[in-house]
Amino acid sequence: MLIEVTPENAVILKQEKDQGRYLVDESEMHDRPMTADEVEAAITDYVNSVKARVLRK
């Protein structure tokens, strides 16, 4: 996930791959900068929606 916030706008890129196949490939553009709380909420929503999980040993 990439979130780029400039004084003019905000761009959110969401990508998730599993074995070379994209499960999620989305982007959003907002015509205003996002606040820190909005960025945190976007990250939390993305983390909670991840479809593939890696098991740790």
Q: What is the pLDDT of residues 1-57, one digit of tens each?
A: 889 999 999 999 988 888 888 888 889 998 999 999 999 998 898 888 876 666 666
Torsion of CA 53, 55, 44, 34, to 10 degrees: -70
Name the domain count of the chain.
Answer: 1
pLDDT at 51 (0 to 100): 67
pLDDT at 23 (0 to 100): 82
**Looking at the domain assignment, is residue 7 inside a domain?**
yes
**Looking at the domain assignment, is residue 57 inside a domain?**
no
pLDDT at 32 (0 to 100): 93
**Looking at the domain assignment, is residue 55 inside a domain?**
no
**DSSP collapsed to 3 states, 1-57:** CEEEECCCCEEEEEEEEECCEEEEEEEEEECCCCCHHHHHHHHHHHHHHCCCCCCCC
**Looking at the domain assignment, is residue 22 inside a domain?**
yes
pLDDT at 46 (0 to 100): 83
